Amino acid sequence: MDPEFIRPTRSLEGRVAVVSGAGAAGTGLGNGRACAILLAEAGARVICADISLPSATVTADMITTEFGPSRALAVQCDATSESSAAALATKTLEAFGRIDILVNVVGIAGAVGTAETVSMAEWAKGMEVNVGSMVVMSKACVPIMARNEGQWRGSIVNLSSVAGLRGGTPSLLYPTSKGAIVNLTRAMAAHHAGQGIRVNCVCPGMVYTPMMSSPTSGPPMTPEAREIRKNRSLLKTEGNGWDVAAAVRFLAGDEARWMTGVILPVDAGATCATSTDVPGVGSGT
């Protein structure tokens, strides 16, 4: 066997991961919380960043309880603020000495309405949170990743949605912002390849997370609505945060070392469903 062909490992031992939006309502399993836990399970030390420190602390406590002390740190961070993101990066270096992985999870359903009815102030806020936050967090973390030694110096995984691939209704903001993340990922992959930093994207489909029952996201989802969502996929099932996080963990690690600019649907086949009994994919994924 050629000694130059180094076998990839699933372990993230020695790596430090920053997960934005790592909190979730109560002890619920959101995408960010699931990502933080699975990265820790693979051996990474994890910065659990969230605008709500109590929520981030719950996630960090889950990690340290299961995997041991000093494996996670909760940090309050407004991912849309350059100063807040810079402070987060500084705290990460102080605690763990490096940054290897950035997972951009922060996102909201955002402004409601069509081009005729949407509030432009709410539109701007939604784009800032869903798209701008990923730029802000990357701006803080990329220079630190670039200092790492070796051929592969860093990995960024952005969370979009199948709505960013297929569009959706009823509102304009959500699918537009999620589509922007897709091309943001491709552009970043080109920009940072020379620095040894890979940038990929996961597009979740009909996953059920605490966001689905959050008062800020509208009325709680009814059992009937959940059944409709299940039928939007070929497998006729509903995913959860673990399904999304497993894809993120793969893209973040060495097994995906030859992958960058990849847009990976995790959707039970929703993006390739063509049957007439499969409704169009909308927002809320």
Active site residues: 174
Q: What are the backbone angles phi and psi of residue 134, rounded to the nearest 5°?
A: -70, -35
CB < 8 Å & 24+ apart, contacts of 81-86:
81/136, 82/136, 82/139, 82/140, 85/136, 85/137, 85/139, 85/140, 85/141, 86/140
- What is the rounded CA–CA span in Å between residue 188 and residue 175? 20
Return left, alpha or beta for 152; rule: phi > 0 is left, psi -120 to 50 is alpha, else beta: beta
Q: At 37, list the tokens.
A: 């836990």
CB 33 within 8 A of CB 52: no
Q: Residue 22: which of 82, 85, 106 has the closest Cα?
A: 106
